[in-house]
Structure formats: C-alpha cells, structure tokens
Structure 1
Amino acid sequence: MTFEEFKSKIELYHHQGKKVFTSSSFQTHSLVMLHMISRIDNSIPIYFINTGYHFPETLTFRDQVAKEFGLNVIDIKSTTPKMMQKDANGRLLFTSDPDHCCYLNKVQPMEPLLMEYDVWINGVRGDQSAVRKAMTVEQPAPNGAIRFHPMLDWTMRDIFAYIKEHNLPRHPLDAKGYSSIGCEPCTRKPDPEMHERESRWFGMKKVECGLHTDLVKK
C-alpha cells in the first residue's frame, strides 16, 4: 500500500466516524508506518505495550521517536503484578510458559482498546511469518473492531529504502546485530542464516506473541 492509499484509507475511516488507533513496538522497521501516520494525522493514539521487560534502549528510542515525529504515544501495561506472574516453582512465566506471559503482558492489555476503538492500524508485514502472510489488508478483530494492515505487502527492502529516503533514526540495538527486538529475556541476536523473527523466543517453538493470532477473528 502506498502512502497516498494509506492516507485515503485513514481519511475514509475518519469520514465514517470510526475511532482509529495504532500500536507499535518501536523497532526500526516500525518507524515507516509511524512516520506515515505523523504525516497523515499525528493525533492518532500510538499505544506502546509496556511489558516491563523491554530493553532500556527501546524505551529511550520510543521517547526519541515520539518527540521527533510529534506522536501521541500512550503506555499500556498488564494489570497483573509481576509477583503474580510466576509458575508453581516460583519462576517468572517467561521461563516456563511464555504463551501465558505474552497473554498477560501483551494480549490482555490490548483487549480493552478493541472495545473502545473501531479500527486498529497494525504494521504487520506478510514477509515476517506464515501467520502474517495469510492475513488480508482488512480483517475483523474482537468486539466488532477492524484490523487494518497497510504494510502487509511491504518487504524489508522496501522498509529500509523508505528509512534511507527519509533519514529516519535507527533503534540503537540494530548496530549490535539485533533484527527483531521484543522483550529482553526472549530476544537474542540472530545467526546469519536465521529469519528475523527466529531470534524471538529462541528454542521455544514460538514466533508470535498472540496479538496477531488471539486478536484476529477467524
């Protein structure tokens, strides 16, 4: 989807009286959509799911980008305290049940937004995983909301061409070899032959946190 097509779609949603929001992990490849939104309507709320496990560099980068792009960034977080996010052996859930950890810290905080808003602008790309490749530009989400995927047909090459053209900043961990950056305990540097998302939840047979599986209506 081109910038003009993206802009027209946002204008249509506004004309229809739909409440629109987006979310972002503030990785380098997230910046293209955020930059486009800043050019189209920088009042659109940008929700950052603050799991409590992010790299410090991600939090600093989030604040830098929000200021530079003039974005309305809002933190959301789990209502379940970390002391209650432990298994029967007292270990934090990311060590033994990463799916439940992701549910408590990512999916659950997002669920109320799908009751409040009509459209969730989501930056998934089809080249990121088989799950995302099967998605369509518009899909139903829980509570009658719509998921809108303007970046679905973009490739990593497209992303970095746009970043270079507009001289956008880069997440500081890029320079240290990270390609897909999530929560610190569940993110590692990829080996050269690995796909970008294989560096997440390495060895756990997991490539999605649930935002793009649990929060899609089949």
Structure 2
Amino acid sequence: MEISEIKAKLESYKAEGKKMFTTSSFQTHSLVMLHILSRIDNTIPVYFLNTGYHFPETVSFKDQVAEAFGLNVIETRSSVPRYMQKDHSGKLLFTSDPDHCCYINKTAPTEELLRTYDIWINGVRGDQSSTRKAMKTEQEAPFDTIRFHPMLDWSMKTIFAYIREHNLPRHPLDSKGYLSIGCEPCTRKLDPEMQEREARWFGLNKVECGLHTDLVKK
C-alpha cells in the first residue's frame, strides 16, 4: 500500500469509531511502519510483547525509538511467571517446547489485546514466509477484530530504501550479523545462504511464533 492509502484507511477506521493498536518487535525493518504511523497518528498505542527473553539491546532500542518517534509504547507481559514456564523435568519451555513458550509469552497476551481493540495494525510482509504471503491486507481475527496489514506488499528492498530516505536508526545488533531478531535464546546470526526467518528457532521445524497462525480467524 502507498502511504496515502494507509493514511486513508486509518482515518476511515477512526471515523467508524474503531479502536486501533499495533504491536512491534522493534527490529530495524519494523521501524518503517512505526515511522509511518507516527506521522499519521502517534496516539495509536504500540504494544511491545516483553517476553523476558529479549536481547538487552532490543529493550534499549525500543526506548530510543519511542522517544525519537513520539510513540505511545506500552509493555505487556505474560500472566504466567517465569518460574512456572517449565516442563515436567524443570527445563525452561524455550528449550523443550518453544511453541508453548511462544504461546504463553506472545500469543496469549496479544489475544487479550484483541478482546479490547477492533483493529490490529500489523507489519507482516508477504516476502517473509509462505504463511505471510497467503495473507490479505485485511483479515479477520478472533473476537470480531480485523488484522490490517499495510506493509504486506512491501519488499525488503522497499523497506530499506525507506529507512535510508528517512535516516531511521538501526537496531544495534544489525552490525553484528543479526537480521531477524526475536528472543535471545531462539535467535542466531544469519548465514549467507539462509532466508530471513531461518535465523529464528534454528534447527527446528518452526518459522512462526503463533501470532500470525493462531490469531487469524479460520
């Protein structure tokens, strides 16, 4: 979508009395949507899913971006404390059941947000995975909410052209070889032959945390 189209769509949601929110992982490529939103309506709440496993660089970068863009960033956490996020043998879930770990720390907290809001502005891109490529610009989500994907047809090339044009900051781990950055235990540096999402949950048959598979109305 063009920026003018994104603006028109957000204004139409607002005119209809829809409550909007967005979420962000605060990776470098996530900043384009945040920057666009900050110029259209910086009162839209931006939720950061603080799993407790993020790189400290990500948490610091989040604060830097929030101040620079004038965003209303809100941290949300799992209702399950860390000491209860273990399997029957006492191992933390990210080591034995990463799907359940993602559900507890990402999907469930976002599901609660969907109970409160009408529109989830989400920055997924079709070039990131086959799952995302199959998505639509507007898609139904649980609790009669709508997922709005304004960046769905943007490419990595388009994203970084925007970043250069507007001189947006870079996540400090970019220069160390990280491209897709999530929780520290489940993120590795990107090898030259790897696709973007393969740096996450490396060695497992997993490229999604559940936000874009579980929270889509079937």
Q: What range is the shorter-chain TM-score in?
A: over 0.9
Which residue does 2:8 correspond to in 1? 8
| Equivalent AA in structure 1 for residue 139 of structure 2 | Q
Partner of 1:207: 207
The answer for the alignment partner of 1:107 in structure 2 is 107
Shift in Å, 1:102: 0.2
Are residue 23 (structure 1) and residue 23 (structure 2) matched?
Answer: yes
Residue matched to 2:63: 63
Deviation at 1:98, TM superposition (A): 0.2
Residue 217 of structure 1: aligned partner? 217
The aligned counterpart of 1:163 is: 163
2:55 and 2:129 map into 1 onto residues whose CA distance is 23
**Superposition TM-score, scaled by structure 2 size:** 1.00
Helix, strand or coil at the partner of 1:172? coil
Shift of residue 19, structure 1, vs aligned partner: 0.4
1:124 maps to a residue whose letter is V
C-alpha distance in 2 between matches for 1:206 and 1:176: 23
Instruction: For 1:119-198, list aligned pairs within 5 A.
Output: 119-198=119-198
1:206 positional shift = 0.3
1:108 is displaced (CA, Å) by: 0.6
Give the C-alpha shift of residue 204 in structure 1.
Answer: 1.1
**1:159-186 CA deviation, whole Å, 9 max, x = no partner?**
0000000000000000000010000000
Instruction: Report the alpha carbon displacement of residue 112 of structure 1 after superposing the two structures with TM.
Output: 1.2
Q: Give the superposition deviation at 1:119.
A: 0.2
The TM-score normalised by the length of structure 1 is: 1.00
Structure 1, residues 19-67: CA drift from partner, whole Å, max 9, x if none? 0000000000000000000000000000000000000000000000000
Q: Deviations over 1:78-123 (max 9, x none)?
A: 0101111101111000000000000000001111111100000000
Aligned residues between the structures: 218
**Structure 2 unmatched ranges of 5 or more:** none
CA distance in 2, matches of 1:202, 1:158: 26
C-alpha distance in 1, partners of 2:155/2:118?
27
Partner AA of 2:7 in structure 1? K
- 3-state DSSP class of the match of 2:127? coil
Could you say which residue in structure 2 is the equivalent of 1:88? Answer: 88
Alpha-carbon distance, 1:190 to partner: 1.3
Letter in 2 for 1:112: E
Whole-angstrom CA distance in 1 between matches of 2:207 and 2:137: 21
